[in-house]
Structure 1
């Protein structure tokens, strides 16, 4: 059974998507991010949302 996650971009709940460290990105947003060109107005929106990615600290 898949767990329901909240997308860090659109904030919708879904079971389909990817985790980038602690940030969950739904399939719809993932596709939109990949297809967005740097000159597009949405580009800066996605960049700002992706800044919320915080790498996990692995201590060895």
Structure 2
């Protein structure tokens, strides 16, 4: 099941690098922000993410 009607990113055959930049960015973002943990709730997550992006 895909939440909020979002679609899964799928590469075409033979084109395995078309989404590599986006995946790398999300990986770094999650590693820096979460450091292996979790947010206590949605409010805290939104606050931390907005501070990280700004």
TM-score norm. by structure 1 comes to 0.28
Between structure 1 and structure 2, the one with the greater Rg is 2
Q: Which of structures 1 and 2 has the larger relative contact order (alpha carbons within 8 angstroms, sep 6+)?
A: 1
TM-score norm. by structure 2 comes to 0.29
The structure carrying a bigger strand percent of its residues is 1
